[in-house]
Structure 1
């Protein structure tokens, strides 16, 4: 009888070791993956977990020996995580706080995604609310943006009060910008990191304001730089949309296609508004107006 004890003990040790190794999958049904731990990531994981009443766990890319396929869903937070993700898994993968360009580039590994930037059509509608529906609006688009978002460009191009200015050669930016500012009441920016790069944005803003023309967008990150206004989705908006996607996907096996966030806010640069002698409407009223417009139209 005593001779059997070592074998029995070894079996217990193996079982315990296996349970520890795969504990992540058994404890948490949703895995949130970040480049490094951050209060914002912890908050969204907590909010989603509480709303869906599903346990979750936060990981970093450096965490080892995680049984990813044991999770009901995996949520990747941010472009760096999406770009670095190389794990093959049968679990649904959803990306948030990622650009449309990154999500499209890695669509083969994604079940769904929420783009971090606002759609161009929403920025156009914001501009109409601010300047009037008869105001002419100019948009500069590079060949790369047009190729990656043809439906989005085509949609706004159908508007008689929106003028599209193609930019094939970056060296022609100043000439194109001056032409646009002469014929339009505002410049509406697209989410293009090369066109609205740190080296270009200062020149764009200075040139625009010399002509007493504001820049709308291309995202709320440009408000501090000198853009007049933009729409954006905050943490609550992203959490709300993510909860919807996970709920439908996990309960009904209906996963939403990667797309822009239908929930959003509006942000102003009040100082720029005063310098341009503009009276900006109440932000809450603007959000309601834009939401009502989008309720009757689908995103491109």
Structure 2
């Protein structure tokens, strides 16, 4: 049995005049939370309603907020004329769709820009000058931009290729020998539940920290990660929805403007690394980005 829910606010003048549909992730608590945040931000004249997968093809003249990569892909395949705004999706999934269908396909990106993650590591280790990145042969090109950007912040980076699962730990050891910290990206071929314990233990034994790839991995043993809070993502999504109703198009995909930092205090103590508080780290990262043009430079 599928539990359907909706959050809608009816104004004193009557029923809402605009409708936004939410294609959920399947996680009821998460979908309800995002729907509530969206409803609070889009205004009383807009209803935010759930929609079942088999109803997606019938949507006309209303945007769909697709929560997560599966919902995004299903919504796109079910209705190729609908305006779709992805949430909790990453840039490498959405960007090619948005380029082919500008104004119709967009997203609030969930993954953290790598430059922001690298600067999180720099704030924690001010004397860091070298950054290691693990990549597969197919993902190595994704790191060209951040490698070019690091020099503007007194750092240089190097990508170490993991060509097979058997090469992961030997390649990791070489990477840890080069870098002051390991910058972990959202690359499921390398960072996944099967490998993360081995990666973190290997780094710990060599007195190296891991930054990223997400808030969840900090709980597993990464030292720190920036992350976008849900209210910040919902605020940007609401701006995009209002823009759609104003001119019929969605703005280009973008990252939220606000980020916080999660840290693992136990790992920091074990490695004798003094940590500023979370708010101070996030503030210093923002200051560094502002010096070179602000968040757009990410």
TM-score range, shorter chain: 0.7 to 0.9
Q: Using the TM superposition, name which of 39-48 and 263-272 deviates more.
A: 39-48
Stretches of structure 1 lacking an aligned partner (at least 5 in a row): 1-25
Deviation per CA, 1:105-157: give whole Å up to 9, x if none: 54446521122110110110100100005443222222222334543444347
Out of 83, 102, 108, the position equivalent to 2:73 is 83
**SS of 1:198 mapped into structure 2:** coil
CA drift of 1:183 comes to 2.8
Query: Is this contact kept in 2: 1:68–1:89, CA < 8 A?
Result: no
Matching residue of 1:113: 107
Stretches of structure 2 lacking an aligned partner (at least 5 in a row): 1-15
TM-score (ref. length: structure 1): 0.81
**SS of 2:187 mapped into structure 1:** coil
Do the aligned partners of residues 136 and 168 (structure 1) sit closer, same or farther apart at CA in structure 2, a change above 3 Å counting? closer
Query: Is this contact kept in 2: 1:126–1:290, CA < 8 A?
Result: yes
TM-score (ref. length: structure 2): 0.81
Out of 95, 104, 123, the position equivalent to 1:129 is 123
Do the aligned partners of residues 35 and 60 (structure 1) sit closer, same or farther apart at CA in structure 2, a change above 3 Å counting? farther
Out of 86, 92, 95, the position equivalent to 2:86 is 95
**Partners of 2:240 and 2:64 in 1: how far apart?**
12
- The 5 A counterparts of 1:46-57 are 46-53=36-43, 54-57=45-48
Matching residue of 2:6: none
Out of 211, 214, 220, the position equivalent to 1:216 is 211
CA drift of 1:158 comes to 6.7
Q: Using the TM superposition, name which of 214-223 and 61-70 deviates more.
A: 61-70
Matching residue of 1:31: 21
Matching residue of 1:44: 34
Matching residue of 1:225: 220
Matching residue of 1:191: 186
Do the aligned partners of residues 282 and 29 (structure 1) sit closer, same or farther apart at CA in structure 2, a change above 3 Å counting? same
**Over 6 Å off, 4+ runs:** none
**SS of 1:257 mapped into structure 2:** coil
**Partners of 1:55 and 1:47 in 2: how far apart?**
13
Query: Is this contact kept in 2: 1:186–1:213, CA < 8 A?
Result: yes
Matching residue of 1:234: 229
CA drift of 1:177 comes to 1.6
CA drift of 1:245 comes to 2.2
Query: Is this contact kept in 1: 2:173–2:202, CA < 8 A?
Result: yes
Deviation per CA, 1:224-259: give whole Å up to 9, x if none: 211010011121121122122223343255633223
